[in-house]
């Protein structure tokens, strides 16, 4: 039996040691949160960071956009990509880099963990499209889905016991976490989101994707789409995040909350592989 007090202390210690997001990413987030933000402002910040500058130029010239002529101007790249895309790319790649450099548990192999996370982001975005949600909002659904399982990162090798318990008892993983560890990945994810000062929408998806019904209005609906993308990725076994037994009741509840039909839920299968490939190009991983 795992010691819940010890587990919590170890998790908090791990999160305290995680590096903060870079000053540049913080400034990018701050600028893009303003309605009067301009590409020129963003250019001034990004141009001081050679790595992020390279990432922006690499993205605009990648197969994701398939441009005929190469773009070499940072300002032009930012203008063409749009502030929201640059913000999402800067945030997601910074978090992936930070998480990838952290201690890894043998319980969740890195490649399979990110394959699942990307699938959840892509699924949430495709499912949102079936309900005619504006394209810029869909990009936020993708980032929220990508980051939804951040709370699993601090778990150590003892998490293997949790995975085995969920599998043997055929129960949802979050129940196994609470049973054995006294804490779940939603609560841990909330701690990380707070440390990194992620916005309300992304934080809600991280801390409530197994319980969107506890939220209200637009926030509830957005989290429900991410939750539905999570169930989709588990049902079709894309990547691995430890949840072998998605609930049929949960699926029915999420379809009702989002307004997605069972037909639309199944139909995104036609686009999922192409979108995952595009997402990997976008994330440069």
Phi-psi region of 90 (alpha: psi -120 to 50; beta: other; left: phi over 0): alpha
Task: Give the pLDDT confidence score for residue 1 in this predicted structure.
Answer: 65
Q: Which two tokens stand for residue 46?
A: 């990004």
For the stretch 180-190, pLDDT in tens is 999 999 999 99
Task: State the average pLDDT over residues 219-239.
Answer: 95
pLDDT score of 252:
94
Under the banding of pLDDT at 50, 70 and 90, the label for residue 281 is confident
Non-local (6+) Cβ contacts of 52 within 8 A are 24, 25, 28, 46, 90
Which pLDDT score is estimated for 104? 66
- Could you tell me which residue, 23 or 136, shows the higher pLDDT? 23
How far apart CA 280 and CA 285 sit, in angstroms, is 6
Report the C-alpha gap between 30 and 67 in whole angstroms.
Answer: 29
The per-residue pLDDT for range 86-108, each reduced to its tens digit, is: 999 999 999 988 887 776 678 88
223 has a pLDDT exceeding 90:
yes
8 Å CB contact between 173 and 242:
yes
Lowest mean pLDDT segment, chosen from 202-206, 218-222, 280-284? 280-284
Residue 243, pLDDT above cutoff 90 = no
Average pLDDT over residues 126-141: 91
C-alpha span between 281 and 127 (Å, rounded): 21
pTM confidence score: 0.92
**Mean pLDDT of all residues belonging to the chain:** 92
Higher pLDDT, 34 or 105: 34
* % of the chain at pLDDT higher than 70: 99
Ordered by where they begin, the domains of the chain are 21-101 (no CATH), 104-285 (1.10.3210.10)
What pLDDT, on the 0 to 100 scale, is given for residue 139? 87
Question: What tokens does 164 get?
Answer: 């085995």
Of residues 169 and 136, more confidence is placed in 169
| pLDDT score recorded for residue 103 | 63
Whether 57 shows a pLDDT value over 70: the answer reads yes
At 211 the pLDDT is 94
Q: Nearest-CA neighbor of 229 among 274, 260, 185, 192?
A: 260
Residue 282: pLDDT over 80? yes
Alpha helices by DSSP H, the chain: 4-17, 23-32, 39-46, 50-60, 74-81, 83-100, 110-129, 135-147, 159-169, 173-181, 185-195, 200-208, 217-235, 248-258, 262-267, 269-283
Closest CA to 155 of 143, 173, 138: 173
């Amino acid at each position: 039996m795992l010691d819940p007090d010890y587990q919590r202390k170890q998790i908090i210690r791990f999160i305290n040691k995680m590096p903060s997001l870079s000053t540049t990413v913080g400034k990018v987030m701050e600028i893009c949160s303003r309605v009067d933000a301009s590409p020129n402002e963003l250019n001034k910040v990004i141009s001081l960071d050679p790595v992020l500058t390279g990432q922006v130029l690499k993205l605009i010239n990648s197969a994701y956009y398939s441009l005929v002529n190469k773009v070499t101007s940072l300002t032009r790249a930012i203008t063409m990509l749009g502030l929201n895309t640059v913000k999402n790319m800067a945030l997601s790649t910074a978090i992936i880099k930070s998480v990838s450099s952290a201690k890894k548990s043998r319980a969740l192999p890195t490649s399979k963990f990110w394959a699942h996370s990307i699938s959840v982001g892509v699924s949430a975005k495709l499912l949102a499209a079936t309900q005619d949600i504006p394209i810029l909002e869909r990009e936020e659904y993708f980032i929220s889905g990508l980051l939804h399982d951040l709370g699993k990162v601090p778990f150590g090798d003892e998490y293997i016991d949790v995975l085995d318990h969920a599998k043997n008892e055929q129960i949802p993983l979050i129940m196994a976490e609470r049973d054995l560890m006294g804490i779940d990945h939603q609560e841990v994810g909330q701690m990380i989101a707070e440390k990194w000062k992620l916005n309300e929408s992304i934080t809600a998806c991280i801390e409530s994707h197994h319980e969107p019904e506890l939220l209200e209005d637009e926030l509830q609906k957005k989290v429900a789409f991410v939750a539905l993308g999570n169930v989709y990725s588990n049902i079709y076994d894309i990547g691995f995040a430890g949840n072998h037994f998605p609930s049929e009741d949960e699926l029915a509840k999420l379809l009702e909350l989002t307004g997605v039909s069972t037909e639309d839920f199944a139909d995104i299968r036609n686009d999922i592989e192409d979108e995952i490939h595009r997402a990997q190009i976008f994330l440069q991983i």
